[in-house]
Structure 1
Amino acid sequence: RGGSAGDAAVAMAAVLQVVSPIGSGVGGDCFGIFYDASTGTTRCLDGSGRSPAALTKEQLMSAETDGFIKADSRGLLATVPGAVKAWFETVEHFGSGKLSMSEILEPAVRFAEEGFPLSLPGAFFWERAKPKLLRMHGGRAYLIDGETVPSPGHILSNVPMAGLLKRIANEGPSALYAGPVAQTIVEAVAEVGGLMTLNDLRNHLESSEPAIL
Protein backbone atom coordinates (compact mmCIF):
# COMPACT_ATOMS: atom_id res chain seq x y z
CA ARG A 1 0.00 0.00 0.00
CA GLY A 2 3.00 2.30 -0.15
CA GLY A 3 3.53 2.47 3.59
CA SER A 4 6.82 2.78 5.46
CA ALA A 5 8.58 0.63 8.02
CA GLY A 6 7.04 2.87 10.69
CA ASP A 7 3.54 2.16 9.40
CA ALA A 8 4.30 -1.56 9.27
CA ALA A 9 5.70 -1.58 12.82
CA VAL A 10 2.48 -0.09 14.20
CA ALA A 11 0.33 -2.49 12.16
CA MET A 12 2.38 -5.42 13.49
CA ALA A 13 2.17 -4.21 17.10
CA ALA A 14 -1.60 -3.84 16.83
CA VAL A 15 -2.01 -7.34 15.39
CA LEU A 16 0.23 -8.86 18.07
CA GLN A 17 -1.81 -7.37 20.88
CA VAL A 18 -4.88 -9.07 19.39
CA VAL A 19 -3.44 -12.52 18.63
CA SER A 20 -0.84 -12.64 21.44
CA PRO A 21 -2.17 -10.48 24.28
CA ILE A 22 0.09 -12.24 26.78
CA GLY A 23 3.11 -10.23 25.68
CA SER A 24 1.65 -6.96 24.42
CA GLY A 25 -1.43 -4.81 24.40
CA VAL A 26 -2.97 -1.36 24.36
CA GLY A 27 -2.53 -1.38 28.14
CA GLY A 28 1.24 -1.83 27.85
CA ASP A 29 4.29 0.05 26.60
CA CYS A 30 6.01 0.50 23.26
CA PHE A 31 9.59 1.25 22.26
CA GLY A 32 11.07 1.96 18.86
CA ILE A 33 14.41 2.62 17.20
CA PHE A 34 14.31 4.41 13.86
CA TYR A 35 17.15 4.92 11.39
CA ASP A 36 16.92 7.68 8.77
CA ALA A 37 19.08 6.68 5.82
CA SER A 38 18.91 10.17 4.33
CA THR A 39 20.56 11.77 7.35
CA GLY A 40 22.34 8.79 8.89
CA THR A 41 20.68 9.48 12.24
CA THR A 42 19.07 7.05 14.66
CA ARG A 43 16.36 8.03 17.13
CA CYS A 44 14.63 6.08 19.84
CA LEU A 45 11.01 6.41 20.92
CA ASP A 46 10.30 5.87 24.61
CA GLY A 47 6.68 4.80 24.88
CA SER A 48 6.95 3.59 28.46
CA GLY A 49 4.23 4.48 30.89
CA ARG A 50 4.89 6.68 33.90
CA SER A 51 3.96 5.86 37.46
CA PRO A 52 0.92 7.65 38.91
CA ALA A 53 1.72 11.12 40.25
CA ALA A 54 0.40 10.15 43.69
CA LEU A 55 2.74 7.16 44.08
CA THR A 56 5.63 7.61 46.50
CA LYS A 57 8.82 5.67 47.09
CA GLU A 58 7.70 5.05 50.66
CA GLN A 59 4.49 3.40 49.48
CA LEU A 60 6.41 1.02 47.25
CA MET A 61 8.91 0.19 49.97
CA SER A 62 6.16 -0.55 52.49
CA ALA A 63 4.46 -2.87 49.99
CA GLU A 64 7.63 -4.90 49.40
CA THR A 65 8.46 -8.18 51.16
CA ASP A 66 11.62 -10.15 50.38
CA GLY A 67 12.04 -8.41 47.06
CA PHE A 68 8.44 -8.87 45.93
CA ILE A 69 5.38 -6.63 46.02
CA LYS A 70 2.61 -8.00 48.23
CA ALA A 71 -0.32 -9.41 46.29
CA ASP A 72 -2.78 -6.92 47.77
CA SER A 73 -0.54 -4.03 46.68
CA ARG A 74 0.18 -5.13 43.11
CA GLY A 75 -1.91 -2.28 41.73
CA LEU A 76 0.84 0.11 42.83
CA LEU A 77 2.95 -1.27 39.98
CA ALA A 78 0.45 -0.20 37.31
CA THR A 79 1.78 2.52 35.04
CA VAL A 80 0.05 4.65 32.43
CA PRO A 81 -0.26 2.71 29.14
CA GLY A 82 2.26 4.14 26.69
CA ALA A 83 1.65 2.01 23.61
CA VAL A 84 -1.22 3.85 21.92
CA LYS A 85 0.38 7.29 22.03
CA ALA A 86 3.61 5.72 20.80
CA TRP A 87 1.74 4.30 17.79
CA PHE A 88 0.59 7.79 16.83
CA GLU A 89 4.04 9.28 17.43
CA THR A 90 5.53 6.60 15.18
CA VAL A 91 3.08 7.23 12.35
CA GLU A 92 3.45 11.01 12.66
CA HIS A 93 7.24 11.13 12.68
CA PHE A 94 8.27 7.93 10.91
CA GLY A 95 5.24 6.96 8.85
CA SER A 96 4.84 7.37 5.10
CA GLY A 97 2.03 9.88 5.35
CA LYS A 98 0.14 7.78 2.81
CA LEU A 99 -1.89 5.62 5.18
CA SER A 100 -4.49 6.62 7.73
CA MET A 101 -4.50 5.06 11.17
CA SER A 102 -7.70 3.25 10.17
CA GLU A 103 -5.82 1.59 7.31
CA ILE A 104 -2.86 0.74 9.53
CA LEU A 105 -5.04 -0.83 12.22
CA GLU A 106 -7.35 -2.61 9.75
CA PRO A 107 -5.55 -6.01 9.93
CA ALA A 108 -5.76 -6.00 13.74
CA VAL A 109 -9.45 -5.07 13.60
CA ARG A 110 -10.09 -7.87 11.11
CA PHE A 111 -8.40 -10.51 13.31
CA ALA A 112 -10.30 -9.26 16.35
CA GLU A 113 -13.65 -9.41 14.54
CA GLU A 114 -13.23 -12.53 12.40
CA GLY A 115 -11.07 -14.56 14.77
CA PHE A 116 -7.71 -16.31 14.78
CA PRO A 117 -6.42 -19.73 15.96
CA LEU A 118 -5.04 -19.70 19.48
CA SER A 119 -1.36 -20.66 19.57
CA LEU A 120 0.12 -23.37 21.79
CA PRO A 121 2.05 -20.87 23.96
CA GLY A 122 -1.07 -18.74 24.17
CA ALA A 123 -3.14 -21.66 25.48
CA PHE A 124 -0.39 -22.54 27.98
CA PHE A 125 -0.25 -19.07 29.49
CA TRP A 126 -4.03 -18.78 29.38
CA GLU A 127 -4.24 -21.91 31.54
CA ARG A 128 -1.74 -20.43 33.98
CA ALA A 129 -3.79 -17.24 34.16
CA LYS A 130 -7.10 -19.03 34.78
CA PRO A 131 -7.11 -18.57 38.58
CA LYS A 132 -6.56 -14.83 38.13
CA LEU A 133 -9.25 -14.61 35.46
CA LEU A 134 -11.72 -16.30 37.79
CA ARG A 135 -10.95 -13.76 40.51
CA MET A 136 -10.77 -10.55 38.52
CA HIS A 137 -13.74 -8.42 37.55
CA GLY A 138 -14.87 -9.40 34.06
CA GLY A 139 -12.26 -12.14 33.82
CA ARG A 140 -14.74 -14.91 33.06
CA ALA A 141 -15.49 -13.24 29.72
CA TYR A 142 -12.12 -14.61 28.56
CA LEU A 143 -13.08 -18.21 29.36
CA ILE A 144 -15.42 -20.43 27.34
CA ASP A 145 -18.78 -20.38 29.12
CA GLY A 146 -17.03 -18.52 31.90
CA GLU A 147 -15.16 -21.63 33.04
CA THR A 148 -12.97 -23.31 30.40
CA VAL A 149 -9.63 -22.26 28.93
CA PRO A 150 -9.65 -22.42 25.10
CA SER A 151 -7.45 -25.13 23.54
CA PRO A 152 -4.68 -24.58 20.96
CA GLY A 153 -6.24 -23.99 17.56
CA HIS A 154 -9.50 -22.74 19.00
CA ILE A 155 -10.75 -19.80 16.92
CA LEU A 156 -10.90 -16.74 19.10
CA SER A 157 -12.36 -13.33 18.42
CA ASN A 158 -12.37 -10.17 20.49
CA VAL A 159 -15.16 -7.92 19.26
CA PRO A 160 -14.78 -5.38 22.11
CA MET A 161 -11.11 -4.99 21.17
CA ALA A 162 -12.08 -4.45 17.54
CA GLY A 163 -14.40 -1.70 18.68
CA LEU A 164 -11.68 -0.06 20.76
CA LEU A 165 -9.20 -0.17 17.88
CA LYS A 166 -11.76 1.48 15.61
CA ARG A 167 -12.29 4.21 18.19
CA ILE A 168 -8.55 4.73 18.51
CA ALA A 169 -8.23 5.01 14.73
CA ASN A 170 -11.11 7.48 14.46
CA GLU A 171 -10.67 9.55 17.62
CA GLY A 172 -6.92 9.40 18.17
CA PRO A 173 -5.16 8.76 21.50
CA SER A 174 -7.99 10.40 23.45
CA ALA A 175 -10.05 7.26 22.82
CA LEU A 176 -7.86 5.56 25.43
CA TYR A 177 -6.52 8.43 27.54
CA ALA A 178 -9.83 10.21 28.19
CA GLY A 179 -13.51 9.41 28.42
CA PRO A 180 -15.15 6.10 29.35
CA VAL A 181 -12.17 3.87 28.47
CA ALA A 182 -9.87 5.92 30.68
CA GLN A 183 -12.43 5.76 33.49
CA THR A 184 -12.57 1.98 33.17
CA ILE A 185 -8.77 1.77 33.38
CA VAL A 186 -8.69 3.93 36.51
CA GLU A 187 -11.41 1.84 38.17
CA ALA A 188 -9.69 -1.45 37.29
CA VAL A 189 -6.38 -0.24 38.73
CA ALA A 190 -8.10 1.02 41.88
CA GLU A 191 -9.69 -2.41 42.42
CA VAL A 192 -6.22 -3.90 42.90
CA GLY A 193 -4.87 -1.11 45.09
CA GLY A 194 -3.44 1.21 42.45
CA LEU A 195 -3.36 5.00 42.45
CA MET A 196 -3.77 5.91 38.78
CA THR A 197 -6.04 8.87 38.03
CA LEU A 198 -7.66 10.37 34.96
CA ASN A 199 -5.11 13.19 35.15
CA ASP A 200 -2.27 10.65 34.96
CA LEU A 201 -3.75 9.33 31.72
CA ARG A 202 -4.53 12.75 30.24
CA ASN A 203 -1.05 14.10 31.00
CA HIS A 204 0.91 11.19 29.56
CA LEU A 205 3.64 12.19 27.10
CA GLU A 206 6.03 10.23 24.90
CA SER A 207 9.66 11.19 24.35
CA SER A 208 11.90 10.81 21.32
CA GLU A 209 15.66 11.14 21.72
CA PRO A 210 18.84 10.46 19.74
CA ALA A 211 19.86 6.84 20.24
CA ILE A 212 22.97 5.99 22.25
CA LEU A 213 25.15 3.97 19.89
Structure 2
Amino acid sequence: MNKFNKIAIIGASGFIGAALTKEALARGLQVRALVSRPERIDAAANLEVVGVDVMNTDALAAALAGVDVVLSAFSGHAQTDVAGYYLSGFASILAAVKAQSIAPRLLLVGGAASLQLPDGTKLLDHPNFPAEYRATAEGAYAALQLLKTEASLQWSYLSPAAEIFPGAKTGQFRIGGDQLLTDANGKSRISTGDYAAALLDELQQPQQQNRRFSVAY
Protein backbone atom coordinates (compact mmCIF):
# COMPACT_ATOMS: atom_id res chain seq x y z
CA MET A 1 0.00 0.00 0.00
CA ASN A 2 1.27 3.46 -0.85
CA LYS A 3 2.48 5.40 2.17
CA PHE A 4 0.35 8.37 1.08
CA ASN A 5 -2.84 6.54 0.19
CA LYS A 6 -5.46 8.87 1.65
CA ILE A 7 -5.33 12.43 0.32
CA ALA A 8 -7.50 15.54 0.29
CA ILE A 9 -7.62 17.92 -2.66
CA ILE A 10 -8.86 21.42 -1.88
CA GLY A 11 -10.41 23.04 -4.95
CA ALA A 12 -10.74 19.68 -6.70
CA SER A 13 -13.15 20.95 -9.36
CA GLY A 14 -11.00 23.87 -10.53
CA PHE A 15 -8.67 24.34 -13.49
CA ILE A 16 -5.70 22.57 -11.89
CA GLY A 17 -7.61 20.81 -9.13
CA ALA A 18 -9.59 18.76 -11.64
CA ALA A 19 -6.33 17.58 -13.24
CA LEU A 20 -4.94 16.65 -9.83
CA THR A 21 -8.08 14.69 -9.00
CA LYS A 22 -7.96 12.80 -12.30
CA GLU A 23 -4.30 11.93 -11.88
CA ALA A 24 -4.66 10.87 -8.24
CA LEU A 25 -7.56 8.56 -9.06
CA ALA A 26 -5.63 7.10 -12.00
CA ARG A 27 -2.87 6.20 -9.53
CA GLY A 28 -5.31 4.35 -7.30
CA LEU A 29 -5.26 6.87 -4.46
CA GLN A 30 -8.23 7.46 -2.19
CA VAL A 31 -9.28 11.06 -2.81
CA ARG A 32 -11.39 13.32 -0.63
CA ALA A 33 -12.38 16.20 -2.90
CA LEU A 34 -13.11 19.38 -0.93
CA VAL A 35 -15.15 21.84 -2.97
CA SER A 36 -17.63 24.65 -2.48
CA ARG A 37 -20.02 23.11 -5.04
CA PRO A 38 -20.07 19.30 -4.81
CA GLU A 39 -22.46 19.00 -7.76
CA ARG A 40 -19.61 19.92 -10.08
CA ILE A 41 -17.84 16.60 -9.50
CA ASP A 42 -19.03 13.31 -10.93
CA ALA A 43 -19.03 10.21 -8.73
CA ALA A 44 -16.11 7.82 -9.15
CA ALA A 45 -14.47 4.90 -7.39
CA ASN A 46 -12.14 5.92 -4.54
CA LEU A 47 -13.60 9.44 -4.61
CA GLU A 48 -15.34 11.09 -1.66
CA VAL A 49 -16.79 14.54 -2.35
CA VAL A 50 -17.22 16.95 0.56
CA GLY A 51 -18.76 20.40 0.36
CA VAL A 52 -16.88 22.90 2.51
CA ASP A 53 -16.16 26.61 2.70
CA VAL A 54 -12.39 27.09 2.89
CA MET A 55 -12.93 30.24 4.96
CA ASN A 56 -14.64 28.19 7.69
CA THR A 57 -11.50 26.88 9.40
CA ASP A 58 -13.32 24.59 11.86
CA ALA A 59 -15.35 22.94 9.08
CA LEU A 60 -12.24 22.61 6.92
CA ALA A 61 -10.29 21.04 9.79
CA ALA A 62 -13.08 18.50 10.26
CA ALA A 63 -13.07 17.71 6.54
CA LEU A 64 -9.31 17.07 6.63
CA ALA A 65 -9.48 14.57 9.50
CA GLY A 66 -7.71 11.32 8.75
CA VAL A 67 -5.90 12.27 5.55
CA ASP A 68 -2.16 11.81 5.04
CA VAL A 69 -1.54 14.59 2.52
CA VAL A 70 -3.39 17.77 1.57
CA LEU A 71 -3.10 19.12 -1.97
CA SER A 72 -4.33 22.69 -2.18
CA ALA A 73 -5.45 24.06 -5.53
CA PHE A 74 -7.40 26.85 -3.84
CA SER A 75 -7.49 30.16 -5.71
CA GLY A 76 -9.24 33.50 -5.57
CA HIS A 77 -9.47 34.24 -9.29
CA ALA A 78 -13.19 34.98 -9.24
CA GLN A 79 -13.06 37.42 -6.32
CA THR A 80 -12.87 41.21 -6.36
CA ASP A 81 -9.96 41.29 -3.91
CA VAL A 82 -8.04 38.37 -5.40
CA ALA A 83 -4.88 38.60 -3.28
CA GLY A 84 -6.71 39.35 -0.03
CA TYR A 85 -9.22 36.54 -0.53
CA TYR A 86 -6.49 34.07 -1.44
CA LEU A 87 -4.34 34.92 1.57
CA SER A 88 -7.32 34.66 3.93
CA GLY A 89 -8.13 31.25 2.48
CA PHE A 90 -4.51 30.16 2.63
CA ALA A 91 -4.32 31.16 6.31
CA SER A 92 -7.44 29.09 6.98
CA ILE A 93 -5.93 26.10 5.14
CA LEU A 94 -2.72 26.35 7.17
CA ALA A 95 -4.65 26.52 10.43
CA ALA A 96 -6.88 23.58 9.48
CA VAL A 97 -3.89 21.44 8.50
CA LYS A 98 -2.03 22.23 11.72
CA ALA A 99 -5.17 21.54 13.79
CA GLN A 100 -4.90 17.81 13.04
CA SER A 101 -3.44 15.57 15.75
CA ILE A 102 -0.79 14.56 13.21
CA ALA A 103 -0.50 17.34 10.66
CA PRO A 104 -0.67 15.99 7.11
CA ARG A 105 1.87 17.07 4.55
CA LEU A 106 0.78 20.10 2.50
CA LEU A 107 1.44 20.33 -1.23
CA LEU A 108 0.52 23.71 -2.65
CA VAL A 109 -0.32 24.64 -6.22
CA GLY A 110 1.88 27.72 -6.54
CA GLY A 111 2.42 30.46 -9.06
CA ALA A 112 5.10 31.04 -11.69
CA ALA A 113 5.50 34.79 -11.20
CA SER A 114 8.02 34.52 -8.36
CA LEU A 115 10.39 32.39 -10.45
CA GLN A 116 13.70 34.03 -11.30
CA LEU A 117 14.70 35.23 -14.75
CA PRO A 118 18.31 34.88 -15.98
CA ASP A 119 19.16 38.37 -14.69
CA GLY A 120 18.05 37.45 -11.16
CA THR A 121 14.81 39.43 -11.18
CA LYS A 122 11.43 37.77 -10.76
CA LEU A 123 8.98 37.20 -13.60
CA LEU A 124 6.55 39.32 -11.58
CA ASP A 125 8.93 42.29 -11.88
CA HIS A 126 9.11 42.20 -15.67
CA PRO A 127 7.56 45.33 -17.26
CA ASN A 128 5.45 43.16 -19.57
CA PHE A 129 3.91 41.09 -16.77
CA PRO A 130 0.12 41.10 -17.41
CA ALA A 131 -1.67 43.46 -15.03
CA GLU A 132 -4.72 41.17 -14.83
CA TYR A 133 -2.60 38.43 -13.21
CA ARG A 134 -0.68 40.62 -10.77
CA ALA A 135 -2.99 40.22 -7.77
CA THR A 136 -3.05 36.43 -8.16
CA ALA A 137 0.73 36.36 -8.51
CA GLU A 138 1.31 38.55 -5.46
CA GLY A 139 -0.98 36.35 -3.35
CA ALA A 140 0.82 33.18 -4.42
CA TYR A 141 4.21 34.75 -3.72
CA ALA A 142 3.10 35.87 -0.25
CA ALA A 143 1.92 32.32 0.47
CA LEU A 144 5.35 30.98 -0.46
CA GLN A 145 7.01 33.45 1.90
CA LEU A 146 4.69 32.35 4.71
CA LEU A 147 5.43 28.69 4.08
CA LYS A 148 9.15 29.38 4.41
CA THR A 149 8.56 30.47 8.01
CA GLU A 150 6.75 27.24 8.95
CA ALA A 151 8.87 25.18 11.30
CA SER A 152 6.34 22.50 12.26
CA LEU A 153 4.86 21.59 8.88
CA GLN A 154 6.08 19.48 5.96
CA TRP A 155 5.26 21.29 2.73
CA SER A 156 6.11 21.59 -0.96
CA TYR A 157 5.18 24.36 -3.38
CA LEU A 158 5.09 23.63 -7.11
CA SER A 159 5.40 26.55 -9.52
CA PRO A 160 4.18 25.86 -13.06
CA ALA A 161 5.76 27.18 -16.23
CA ALA A 162 4.88 30.73 -17.27
CA GLU A 163 2.06 29.28 -19.39
CA ILE A 164 -0.08 26.44 -18.08
CA PHE A 165 -2.74 25.20 -20.48
CA PRO A 166 -5.44 22.49 -20.52
CA GLY A 167 -3.81 19.35 -21.82
CA ALA A 168 -3.15 15.65 -21.29
CA LYS A 169 -0.24 14.09 -19.46
CA THR A 170 2.78 13.22 -21.60
CA GLY A 171 5.15 12.34 -18.77
CA GLN A 172 7.87 14.27 -20.54
CA PHE A 173 8.78 17.32 -18.46
CA ARG A 174 11.64 18.82 -16.48
CA ILE A 175 11.80 19.60 -12.78
CA GLY A 176 13.64 22.72 -11.64
CA GLY A 177 14.03 25.00 -8.66
CA ASP A 178 13.63 28.76 -8.30
CA GLN A 179 14.56 29.63 -11.89
CA LEU A 180 12.04 29.90 -14.71
CA LEU A 181 12.48 26.90 -17.03
CA THR A 182 12.33 27.53 -20.77
CA ASP A 183 12.68 25.28 -23.81
CA ALA A 184 15.03 25.62 -26.79
CA ASN A 185 12.69 28.23 -28.28
CA GLY A 186 12.60 30.33 -25.12
CA LYS A 187 9.05 29.22 -24.27
CA SER A 188 7.98 28.27 -20.75
CA ARG A 189 4.96 25.95 -20.96
CA ILE A 190 3.33 22.99 -19.19
CA SER A 191 -0.02 21.22 -19.54
CA THR A 192 -2.37 20.75 -16.60
CA GLY A 193 -1.96 16.99 -17.04
CA ASP A 194 1.82 17.11 -16.72
CA TYR A 195 1.65 19.63 -13.88
CA ALA A 196 -0.61 17.20 -12.00
CA ALA A 197 1.77 14.33 -12.74
CA ALA A 198 4.72 16.29 -11.33
CA LEU A 199 2.88 17.14 -8.11
CA LEU A 200 1.62 13.57 -7.64
CA ASP A 201 5.14 12.27 -8.27
CA GLU A 202 6.29 14.48 -5.41
CA LEU A 203 3.46 13.22 -3.22
CA GLN A 204 4.42 9.58 -3.77
CA GLN A 205 8.20 10.01 -3.82
CA PRO A 206 9.10 13.15 -1.85
CA GLN A 207 12.17 14.95 -3.15
CA GLN A 208 11.27 18.60 -2.51
CA GLN A 209 10.32 18.81 1.15
CA ASN A 210 10.02 22.29 2.64
CA ARG A 211 10.95 24.02 -0.60
CA ARG A 212 9.57 25.42 -3.83
CA PHE A 213 10.20 23.55 -7.07
CA SER A 214 9.06 24.09 -10.64
CA VAL A 215 8.00 22.15 -13.73
CA ALA A 216 8.06 22.89 -17.46
CA TYR A 217 8.81 21.28 -20.82
Larger Rg: 1
TM-score w.r.t. the length of structure 2 is 0.23
Structure with the largest fraction of strand? 2
Structure with the largest fraction of helix? 1
TM-score w.r.t. the length of structure 1 is 0.23
Higher relative contact order (CA 8 A, sep 6+): 1
